[in-house]
Amino acid sequence: MTRTAILIFCLSFFACKAAADLRPAIKGVICDAETHQPLGGVMVVSYDMMNLLTTTGGDGSFEIAAVKDRRTLPGEERGRLAPHSDMLVVKKNGYGSDTLNIFGPKAQREPNAIVMDTVFLQKQLTR
């Protein structure tokens, strides 16, 4: 009986320690709208422009890790994402920016990630 109680306690302890995902990882590719070539060095930032989440690699791809069910930012509550955390902004010098809705129609849900459709950024006209 004592062994069973200890086993149940240990299993429940480790089950509680494993944080559930509030939001799976986010993946995507950013390309030049004219040439359709991948864009490296594109900044992927939070909607409020306060947090740089990641930067695209040379192949134009990015990945943002899953958000676990624990506090990560001031003002967040356990079990709830921060306001506008479903929105991302992608921007690069010399290009216009774009806002992405990770739960919108241009996002496909896979078992371990949300995969965004390819994003095409327009070059800004220089004077």
Q: Return the pLDDT at 86.
A: 80
- Residue 10 host element (H or E): helix 2-17
Report helix, strand or coil for 6.
helix
Contact 81, 114 (CB under 8 A): no
Q: Read off the pLDDT of residues 23-41 as tens digits, 9 standing for 90 and up.
A: 788 999 999 999 999 999 9
Q: Where are the domains of the chain?
A: 20-121
If you classify domain 20-121 with CATH, what class do you get?
A: mainly beta
Examine the pLDDT at 112 and tell me if it is beyond 60: yes
Q: How far, CA to CA in Å, does 52 sit from each of 14, 26, 48?
A: 32, 14, 10
